Structure 1
Amino acid sequence: MKKIGIYISGLGQSVHQESIEKYAMRIKNELSYNDTGIQYDIKSEKIFYTQDRESTVVSIFKSKNDSEQELVYKLYDFQYHEILTTKFKTKNLLVKNLILFGLIIKKLPQIFLRIFASGGFDRPYLTFYAFTLLLLISLAIIFLIPVSIETASQLNFSVTIPEDIRSILENVKSYINHFLPISCIFAKIKEWLVPVTTFILLVIPESKTLITSLATEFACVDKYIGNGEQSQLILGNLDLLIEYIAENEPDSKIHYHCYSFGTIIAMDLLFPIGNIPSTNVRNRSALLITIGTPHEFINAYYPRFYNNRSPIMEASLTWFNVYSVADALATNFRKDMNRGPAEFGIKDVLLLPENINYEITSDKKMNIFNFFSMNSIRMHKCYWDTSPNGQSCIRLLFQKMKQQDFI
């Protein structure tokens, strides 16, 4: 029986310099480490599963001799990012930051309530911590706008500023002054805002990219989860890819290799809301792999998202969940933040994941440096190095897959 994987990656900063080729290379390396004297090779190609949708296919072969190769594993990638983010990517950094700020403010009351009524297994303090960091980042840039206006309006006239721009700055300043006593508070703002913002930029050199990526992720996730925007198109395309695999890979079982937001898409496919999966999904799906899944983060953000899920796949599916306790976005599916077996899964679904803990550093205590460096959010990228030759969570995952004959 052929063993086929579908690789569903994360969004934005989560997939920085990532690709299905790198993911497949990590699996190939683990095969080589476990089989001394056997040569493994990979081959990559592009296929079109519809007229305008393509997938990169990476095959891992074991060389028997100079002329014969045996297919060991094949991975298809599912490219949903363009569908989800095209509209949002055209916006500039300021607009993205304002959208991020608006989303946080909209959900902040709910996050506060979660601290006092966590709902049993939620992680309210970690969720609140992550949102606090995002709020501080967005506020830093928003507060810089009036400071920039004030500074620009006071520039020496030897600096050439177009008259229309100068007029706009003065009008904006007058408008803000009407509602806010700028003259009284600007001095105080300048005393701490510039040093704090400079500190953040020094500690986090990629902060501009991080803000842009986070804004993209949260805005698109909000529309996908809250309004179902693009969800039907994304899941429809994933169904079409599975149909292509069913037609071109007879006698095959499908494994879903998912990271970050990609795990949410896979859960939507396998455990749909008020619906049942397609026949191909029901007959072909064998394994769900979730790496750094933000399940609990989304549960705190959208508490009704997992309601009314179809449990039809719970008896035929195996689920491996890779998590790190240092990752603020990952879920350990326990009622505490400790390592150990999963205690629950998706609401109203009896299937429990087999937890796989992966850490790259010893547990750190929360301090002011870790807070401002966003260590717990940055650890969301800790599951593998940017180089496919580095160690990664795939080692632990590979052992689980091998033990249960998934590879």
Structure 2
Amino acid sequence: MSTKIGIYVTGLGQSIDNETVEKYAERLINELSFKTSNISYSLKIEKKFYQTDKECTVVSLFQKNKNTLNKNQKKSPFYKIYDFQYHRILTDRFNHYNIIVKNLVLFGLVLKKLPQIFLRLFNGNGFSRPLQTFYAISILFTISICILFLIPGCIELLTTDDPKNQTLIEKINIFLCSESIPTIPVKLINSLGKKVLAITTLILLFIPKSKTIITSLATEFSCVDSYITNGEQSQILLGNLDLLIEYIAEKEVNPEIHFHAYSFGSILAIDTLFPIAKIPPSDNIQKLTKLLITIGNPFEFINAYYPTFYNDRCDIMKDRIKWLNIYSIADVFSTNHRRDNTRGEAEFGIKDISLTPENINYEITSDKSGLVAFFSLNSIKMHRCYWDKCTIGQSCMKVLLPKLIDNKYL
């Protein structure tokens, strides 16, 4: 009999929101409790080192018949979930930058992607919400400019006590005074700085939780770009995930592996199962992996703005796994794997790979549209709609659990 093992790969930025594998497991057993009677469920949490300096949390799920007379009955878990902790590797470099360097990185990234961003307004390449993404990235661009314009403004404030009432910029202009050397346009810089600052202030005032959303979105956008364009980053992350799978293969008895991937975690899971350059995944992945679950999968977003990223993938796993895809129409980053923005069966998978997911729709509200929803970034905030911070409320487990039970994954 196989040991059912889940690997939980969570998201980034606003997606993570203090999310843990313990919370994920709690939601699973809470939903199990709603659907069964006379059975109690419990969790056991352990810390494991799959390498000397690589730690993971392992949550074991137990069940017990309430009517049993044998109180000393030996319990064995019916499911285990390992988490894959990659956030420090991917985000630490960006998070440790000061605000000026962060904004320079963000400013450069937006400039680099500007042609693709404009192109998607006219050719979505399968992505149904290019206008909302354009608006969100425009905010990031505006704020990064604003921070950069604050630098000369602060310098001006700090130097206004000069006897001649000359700012530092004016002093530089005097120093550079020459027909061959252009002077710095002080009035233009100050005027632009004030306008950008006013626009940013309005955004921060009128968009609910805008600071958190924008900061998280900036982190996620920068780190995703780093992962996709920096081969070294992806090799480190996927190499660590391979090590975790190797550890599971060695320590668990006849393991059957299921990927539970949310948001950016879906990208990592897909890259693991369908590697680039048609290089096959490891033998353990090929033999042990039976299920891929993607929740809020940003496949279409990545495909739209990095159109060659999913080219030439190895398809050896296409007939070996089942793929369950949980999506929300209200979530701008979620992929329904259809050629329209409607609910229904999936029409495509990963570019040329014939495997298509089984779509599972999950909504917490009716579809919202209109100017208020657009300008308040509602469709971006809805990327967190699959569960609440509190584990006792409803979550996407409500629609996922029946599929796991019907297919005997639990």
Q: TM-score, length-normalised on structure 1? A: 0.89
Q: Deviations over 1:81-112 (max 9, x none)?
A: 11222222210223223322221221121232
Instruction: Percent identity, please.
Output: 51
8 Å contact kept, 1:254–1:285: yes
Distance 2:6 2:329 in 1: 27
**Equivalent residue letter for 2:156:** S
317-326 or 204-213, larger mean C-alpha shift: 204-213
Cα offset, 1:179, TM superposition: 7.0
**Equivalent residue letter for 1:354:** E
Q: For residue 44 of structure 2, what is the aligned residue in structure 1?
A: 43
For 1:301-316, list aligned pairs within 5 A: 301-316=305-320
8 Å contact kept, 2:140–2:218: no
Distance 1:223 1:249 in 2: 34
Q: For residue 72 of structure 2, what is the aligned residue in structure 1?
A: 67
For 1:234-383, list aligned pairs within 5 A: 234-273=237-276, 274-367=278-371, 369-383=372-386
Cα 1:356–1:179 change in 2 (3 A) is farther
Cα offset, 1:42, TM superposition: 0.4
Unaligned runs of 5+ in 2: none
8 Å contact kept, 1:59–1:71: yes
RMSD: 2.6
2:400 matched to 1:397? yes
**Equivalent residue letter for 2:56:** S
Cα 1:210–1:92 change in 2 (3 A) is farther
Cα offset, 1:9, TM superposition: 0.6
Distance 1:58 1:184 in 2: 59
Q: For residue 127 of structure 1, what is the aligned residue in structure 2?
A: 130
**Equivalent residue letter for 1:342:** A
Distance 2:296 2:8 in 1: 14
72, 86, 92: which is aligned to 2:98?
92
Q: Deviations over 1:236-282 (max 9, x none)?
A: 11111111111111222110000111111111110011200111101
Distance 1:203 1:386 in 2: 24
2:77 matched to 1:77? no
Cα offset, 1:128, TM superposition: 4.0
**Equivalent residue letter for 2:393:** G
Q: Deviations over 1:101-137 (max 9, x none)?
A: 2212211212322333444xx11x5134213312223
Q: Deviations over 1:276-303 (max 9, x none)?
A: 0111101100100001111011101111
Cα offset, 1:381, TM superposition: 0.8
149, 154, 160: which is aligned to 2:152?
149
271-280 or 202-211, larger mean C-alpha shift: 202-211
Q: For residue 119 of structure 2, what is the aligned residue in structure 1?
A: 113
Q: Deviations over 1:373-406 (max 9, x none)?
A: 2111111111100111111111101111111111
Distance 1:156 1:110 in 2: 42
Distance 1:313 1:257 in 2: 17
Q: Deviations over 1:144-185 (max 9, x none)?
A: 543563466257968xx9xxxx7589759999x967744257
Unaligned runs of 5+ in 1: none
Cα 1:377–1:172 change in 2 (3 A) is farther
SS of alignment partner, residue 57 of structure 1? strand
Distance 2:9 2:258 in 1: 11
Cα 1:347–1:188 change in 2 (3 A) is closer
SS of alignment partner, residue 39 of structure 1? strand
Q: TM-score, length-normalised on structure 2? A: 0.89
Aligned length: 395
Distance 1:126 1:174 in 2: 50
